[in-house]
Amino acid sequence: MKIIFLDIDGVLNSDEYFDKIKNLNINGIENDIDISKIILLKKSLDETGAKIVLTSSWRYTRKAQELKQLLLSYGIIVDCTPFIDNERGIEIKKWLQEHNDVQDFVILDDEIFDSYDEKLMKKLIKISDTNGINYGEGLQPKHIQEIIQRFGKKEKIIDDELEL
């Protein structure tokens, strides 16, 4: 199994998105999440067969269920890392310990946490250079290409292989 550990703020939204919608009357989760970023993320899942695990603080906020429903509406099923004192690196390692079928993983985040050790830093795809100050550019096509390059494309089953 290939896993994308996903942060939300600074990844599925951006300064540009918030500037674009600030004078619009948008209600619900779309006030916080840029749907175009979800579509980009979905492309990486379709190409690689990866699964999503939320690391964002969103996973334990009142908007968590709304976020999960939005992702599910795009065919994205999510799991969450456990909460361990907001120590994202420790939370990721704990999730990995509990799931021994992980072949590879990447971390999509706009911040670098103190609990990210050398191993986790090698798996980080850093989104923007804001380090949690503002939102930066959010998820971009270049990040999707990096995910695909790191994981490789999933094998496609050819119809001939299905016939016995």
Q: In terms of C-beta distances under 8 Å and separation of at least 24 residues, what long-range contacts does 150-157 make, across chains too?
A: 150/104, 150/106, 150/125, 151/2, 151/48, 151/49, 151/50, 151/104, 151/106, 152/48, 153/47, 153/48, 154/47, 154/48, 154/49
| Contact of 55 with 11, CB cutoff 8 Å | no
**Which pLDDT score is estimated for 37?**
97
The whole-number pLDDT of residue 157 equals 58
Q: What confidence score (pLDDT) does residue 129 get?
A: 77
Q: Give the start-to-end residue ranges of the domains of the chain.
A: 2-153
pLDDT at 164: 46
Counting as low any pLDDT under 70, the low residues of the chain are 131-132, 156-164
- Judge: domain 2-153, CATH 3.40.50: yes
- The pLDDT assigned to 158 comes to 53
